[in-house]
Amino acid sequence: MAKILLGVTGSIAAYRACDIARELMREGHSVQAVLTRAATRLISPDTFAALTGNPVVVDVFDEPVPGQIAHIRLAQEADLALIAPATAHTIARLALGLADDMLTTLALATRAPILIAPAMNPAMWSHPATQAHVATLRERGVVFIEPAYGIMACGDEGWGKLADTPTIVQAVALHLRHASDLQGVHVLITAGPTYEPIDPVRFVGNRSSGKMGYALAEAALAHGATVTLITGPTALTPPAGATVIRVQTAQQMYEAVQAHFDACDVFIAAAAVADYRPERALPRKRKRTGEAWTLRLVPNPDILASVAARKGDRFVVGFAAETDKALQHAQAKLSGKNLDLIAANNVLEPGSGFEVDTNRLTLLYADGRIEELPLMSKRACAERIIEVVAEHLRQRRGA
């Protein structure tokens, strides 16, 4: 099977890397453990040597095989690198491109996919510095196995707990299996809000951050797809490898989708497109007068309906962000717009909606199936949707 580099850092969860190593080996993989100096304060390298049957490396000058440069040999031989647990300090060093120990040197030298499972105090995980480093690494193609919610060793509660072993092992298996399952497939994704100008300084918009659409682009790329991301205004950095088209208004997004739809195999409409726009945008800022101002709104084009009507063999996914009767409205949209799948959520539920990192989706399929997803990160939601896309395409190829 695969040769896996298992990086272990100085987190109190370091002991759990033993279970991760054992389960990876049960899957048939070869595991090479690489520990940081801090990790050796918590668990002995001899433990991993006994578990894996391979000598453990810690220092950049460790050379288990005489005459071979370990950090180059191991980096080139690896099929995948997994860092679990990963501390905030190690994530920062990786983001900065430092190579001051064996683990960071290997990470810099390898061309294998890198998966990171963070483990740290919730305040450290949510700190802007940590999130900036995570964003940098994601931009470079690193895949994060999101931390879980729980009570930490220090007694604090929140997001930051190392994901459970089955989740980590499954993420490795999925990455190894799905790294090319969308090879040759062109996925077109819309993301973010649209801004409909009232005058040069005001607009009609919504609270969409674009996080769901960007997560979908990241997941599709991880599965080997070619991705075109049409994005409204956001503060997000697009995932590396995506072709990005930036728009402001619904009309611009409509035109961009029309121009690229024929070339795609899958279309995912994750953008929160404004349904209405001001009938006329003023050429100059309207000054305050103290009088009432009536703004006339007119409908924007229905992007999803316009392309789904001519979808042919394409797989088309929609989203329904609702405040009431979410399933009822989503079902009507699914059938009325000729979709293959729709993801529905109630944006009034805590953690499910705009400007947050999590979501609680219900997937409605064209064949009548309904799949409830628990509250999870938007990246995890995106992974499930892309898995559904891949499953559909596999079935179609096999038919």
pLDDT per position as a tens digit, 1-30: 789 999 999 999 999 999 999 999 999 999
Mean pLDDT of the region 208-232? 92
Reported pTM: 0.65
Residue 66: per-residue pLDDT: 64
Rounded average pLDDT over 276-298: 93
Separation between Cα atoms, residue 61 and residue 69, nearest integer Å: 9
Fold identical between 3-178 and 186-398?
Answer: yes
Half-sphere exposure of 252 (CA within 13 A, CB side): 14
Check if the beta carbon of residue 164 is closer than 8 Å to that of residue 149. Answer: no
Q: Is the pLDDT of residue 170 over 90?
A: no
Percent of the chain with pLDDT over 90: 70
| Choice among 52-66, 224-238, 357-371 with the minimum mean pLDDT | 52-66
pLDDT in the model for residue 93: 97
Identify the weakest region by mean pLDDT among 40-44, 51-55, 136-140, 336-340: 136-140
The ranges assigned to domains in the chain are 3-178, 186-398
Choice among 18, 154, 264, 381 that is catalytic: 154
Residue partners of 309: CB distance under 8 A and separation at least 6: 338
Mean pLDDT estimate for the chain:
91
Q: Over the stretch 221-254, which tens digit does the pLDDT of each residue have?
A: 888 899 999 999 998 888 877 899 999 999 999 9
The pLDDT score that the predictor gives to residue 179 is 65
Cα–Cα distance between 375 and 246 in angstroms, integer? 30
Q: Which tens digits make up the pLDDT trace of 120-141?
A: 999 999 999 999 999 899 878 7
Assign domain 186-398 to its CATH architecture. Answer: 3-Layer(aba) Sandwich (3.40)
Asked about 381 being catalytic, the answer comes back as no
pLDDT of 368 > 70? The answer is: yes
Instruction: Tell me what the mean pLDDT of segment 49-64 comes to.
Output: 88
Whole-number percent of the chain with pLDDT over 70: 98
pLDDT at 75 over 80: yes
The pLDDT score that the predictor gives to residue 178 is: 67
SS3 per-residue string spanning the chain: CCEEEEEECCCHHHHHHHHHHHHHHHCCCEEEEEECHHHHCCCCHHHHHHHHCCCCECCCCCCCCCCCCHHHHHHHHCCEEEEEEECHHHHHHHHHCCCCCHHHHHHHHCCCCEEEEECCCHHHHHCHHHHHHHHHHHHCCCEECCCEEEECCCCCEEEEECCCHHHHHHHHHHHHHHCCCCCCCEEEEEECECCEEEECCEEECCCCCCHHHHHHHHHHHHCCCEEEEEECCCCCCCCCCCEEEECCCHHHHHHHHHHHHCCCCEEEECCECCCEEECCCCCCCCCCCCCCCCCCEEECCCHHHHHHCCCCCCEEEEEEEECCCHHHHHHHHHHHCCCCEEEEEECCCCCCCCCCCEECCEEEECCCCEEECCCEEHHHHHHHHHHHHHHHHHHHHHC
> In CATH, what is the architecture of 3-178?
3-Layer(aba) Sandwich (3.40)
